[in-house]
Amino acid sequence: MNQEDFRLLNELREMLVESNVDRYAGLGDRARMLQLVQDVYEDRTDLPELRGVLDLFILGILLAYRGVKARDPQLAATLFHSWMQDVPGAPNSRLLERWRTLVEASHALKSTTTSQNVVSTWVAAKAVTLASAEFLSGLLGFLIICWQVANGHPWKPSTLGKTLNEKLDLFEQLTGGEDGAFFVYFRLIDRPVRNAIAHSDLTLDRARAEVILGERINGTRTERRVSLVHFMGLAMVGSHLPHAYLAALSTIALVEDGNSVESLALPVHLKRTLLTPARPGNTIKPAP
């Protein structure tokens, strides 16, 4: 990693700022990246489960980076630069546009929740949930090829162009799905919810606090219901993924930069995850 990487990461961080006041102002680029990581792990008495979900999301990226670096350092660098560089042979695979769309949708959701306008919040929550699924779809492409290489399998650029469902199915085969180290990724995406939003086929039942989803099975439309709490939970977690993704990249950059003051101040379990020697071919579980 070099100074240019830190400068570019800081430019991404600036997109997360929701007001004219940047509380990181006056800090150097490395110190800003450290603070961003630490902010993810601050005590959240209002949302105690959120930190755990974001932690597992971050660990997934670190595990993929550590695993692939042991076999192909150049591909590991591709994962780190996933926000701004396409995978060779896979045009338009970089994540910047998907990440930025999710950031903008997340800002909109946070502004509507304070206004207590139900319609605006509903519209914004749909936008975040769809943008989150699209961002995760792009990220899964990078994680899949990295995990394939980490375990000694060949990879193809065409993987990046697969549909979300195809990527989830392939990632499940590689990692064990809900029973594997990356289980949280399968819980961040509700396929029927994502599909219903994409096809504008969902309705809010305010009286029952439920969301009615339209589904097509073998050409026949059916309906199913999910709780509004579940739906808003997807949107809420999704709105924090841009920060968590950047925290993962910042952790990699600081650790790879060497024993700087900022690197030494990172959460211990994140550093341990990156620095523990990977054993390609074996399952790597998240740090406790």
Residue 166: Cβ within 10 Å count: 14
pLDDT > 70: percent of the chain: 93
Q: What range does the domain containing 122 cover?
A: 3-18+25-177+235-275
pLDDT category of residue 211 using cuts at 50, 70 and 90: very high
Mean pLDDT of 198-212: 96
Angle between helix axes 29-40 and 241-256 (nearest 10 degrees) is: 130
In a domain, 195, yes or no: no
In a domain, 72, yes or no: yes
The three-point CA angle 68-69-73 to 5° equals 115
Q: Which of 69-72's residues contact partners 24+ apart within 8 Å by CB, and which partners?
A: 69/278, 70/150, 70/277, 70/278, 70/280, 71/149, 71/150, 71/152, 71/280, 72/149
pLDDT category of residue 44 using cuts at 50, 70 and 90: low
pLDDT category of residue 281 using cuts at 50, 70 and 90: very low
Average pLDDT, the chain: 90
Q: Which residue has the tokens 């590991």?
A: 76
Half-sphere exposure of 76 (CA within 13 A, CB side): 19
In a domain, 129, yes or no: yes
Q: Return all residues near 228 (Cβ < 8 A) that are at least 6 apart.
A: 204, 209, 210, 211
**164 pLDDT exceeds 50?**
yes
Asked if residue 273 lies in contact with residue 62, where contact means CB atoms within 8 angstroms, the answer is: yes
Q: How confident is the model at residue 72, as a pLDDT?
A: 94
Each residue of 118-155: pLDDT tens digit?
A: 999 999 999 999 999 999 999 999 999 999 999 999 99
In a domain, 11, yes or no: yes
Mean pLDDT of 162-190: 95
Q: How confident is the model at residue 19, as a pLDDT?
A: 66
Q: Which of 76-80, 198-202, 283-287 has the lowest mean pLDDT?
A: 283-287
For the chain, the domain total comes to 1
In a domain, 203, yes or no: no
Q: Which of 30-44, 208-222, 263-277 has the lowest mean pLDDT?
A: 30-44
In a domain, 196, yes or no: no
Q: How confident is the model at residue 17, as a pLDDT?
A: 82
Q: How confident is the model at residue 117, as a pLDDT?
A: 86
In a domain, 191, yes or no: no
In a domain, 41, yes or no: yes
Q: Which of 12-26, 83-97, 106-120, 169-183 has the lowest mean pLDDT?
A: 12-26
pLDDT category of residue 23 using cuts at 50, 70 and 90: confident
Cα–Cα distance between 48 and 50 in angstroms, integer? 6
